Structure 1
Amino acid sequence: MPRFGEDYHHFHSQPEPSAAYSTSLSSWAPSEQQRSLPPPRWSSSASWFVPPTRLLALLLLLTVALQPALARALDEEGEGSGDGGKGGDFSVDMYHIPKPFQFVETPRDMQVIEERAASFFCHTSDAAEVSVQWRKNGQAILPSSTTASAEDVPGGSVLTILPKMKDNNATFECVAENALGDTISAQASLTVYEDNANAIPEGFPQFRLAEMEEEEPDKFPVFWPLAIEVEPDVLEVNCEATGDPEPKIKWFKSMRPLELKNPRYSVLAPGRLQIKISREEDDGTLYSCMAVNEKGVVFSGVFGLYHLE
């Protein structure tokens, strides 16, 4: 079977038109010899055939090769538009698939001592506008509550309560809603121990420097941290604690979790914080710490920083 290349060469190697051909299109007619030629045939096995994968590779190479020229053309267009060459800037819109709205930190079950502060944390993956409502046993906690207060933080909220024995086994729920109307919720339970050394489980966290109340020696010791100036405008605070397992220490500023990424704060060791004083930010600010392990949670008292002229 003849190949396409052979047919093509045969067709184009015919003699030049003679008297059998007319220069007028209307009267042109092929000769008997021309009519006897077989029609051209395509063959995928011919040597000139280029596979699709190679065509794609060639297109990619052309795209890369032409990219600098396209950029120069855009720059020249911008320079000619009288805007200082900025007219050549362009951007490509990309479709962004948002991450699912979910919790990064949920409230955890807590065991606390009656009338000692406790906090529930609720933090979502959305750092934009998030509305958080707290509920106790299914009922919304109102802003006017005298035993609980909520503080908004980026992407969430912190609920601080002053529990009583009647709050034992209560359920606290965080309901978060983002700007799109998506709603998620998480809840935790509260266990309240009587403020009596014999009622508190062994291994419950306790601050090392906590002192017993002389008037009430059976009560769980209270801790009031002190800020010691170690150099001008630099303070150190000791909130070391004991317990089984060893407690973790968390720091608070105005009852909000302290942003330890701020270079003004340095954790020197577990339970030891260094503060570089900012008179604008710290004047009148209340700091505190919290010790927590699987047996329970205990807050320190607060200490304030005040600028004295």
Structure 2
Amino acid sequence: WRGYHFYIEHFLHPTPTKLSRTARDCLRGAYVRTNLSPDSHMAEIYLRQALQIVLEKDKLEINDPIVIDILQLLCDNFDWRGSLHDAIMQYKQILELLLQQPQNEGREIEIAKKLGDLYIRVKEYNTAEKYLVWAIVEFTSTSIFTNSSLINKDFIAITDLLASIYAKQRKYDYALTFYLGLLKMIQEKQKIDDFTLKCWEAIINCHLGEIFYDIGKYDEALGWLQKGLSIAKSNSGNKDCDECAGVILNNLGLIHERKGNNELAISLYTNAIEFAEKAQDFIGIEDFARNLNRVQ
């Protein structure tokens, strides 16, 4: 067992050397129960033991980055288990701790995004909006769509989430403003470091198609969806692009099913399932298969 801990420490999940051996053993135990032999309840036990040890025995302050890392692992565990309100409470504590520190390297923006996402999932859209707007403001105090150098993965994800809130609330003018602005920025700057933006371009086209479909502009919806599908397919092999292609094909299937073109809808749903399988999008596979079975 000690040899297993040695392997994990040196090759899979290094733990902070300033911690006691017991605390580090607990963190490795949590890693095993999260990634190698998943059991969310056992992972939580290990994490809570680690947290108690680093605070009481190792004498770290509650706002120490190592403590915050453990708190975030607990948050991720709650999210994994589906205990969304517990995750929200823990993430809010982390955000408060981060905001008390002079420098946190933008980590507070990441936590605000997670809170926005969680509040969307529990359908508290107004609260989600506040966190996401705050996160965007942290990026810039100027117009967010006039400086493509600001764009990065967090910025895209936060803006996409905010636009999705407006779409869910049927505030389509707001949603379109954000989606079109984000699309313009993505097109102006197609690559940041090793992060390819083509898949995001496809995803935003998909969202635009969904909005135009919802407001009854079906021809425009088809145009956006087809464009997004072309981009996603041309970048097949990327998980995000394959997942996006599956979603768009499913949406196209819904449109053609509505028109009574059942044979075409069946073909689109079948193709959607194939892309979802490539992306290992298990929720998509289930949803698309349900649509396919309904038409057949």
- Bigger Rg, which one: 1
> TM-score w.r.t. structure 1 length?
0.20
| Higher percent of residues as helix | 2
Instruction: Tell me: higher relative CO, structure 1 or 2? Use CA pairs within 8 A at least 6 residues apart.
Output: 1
> TM-score w.r.t. structure 2 length?
0.20
| Higher percent of residues as strand | 1
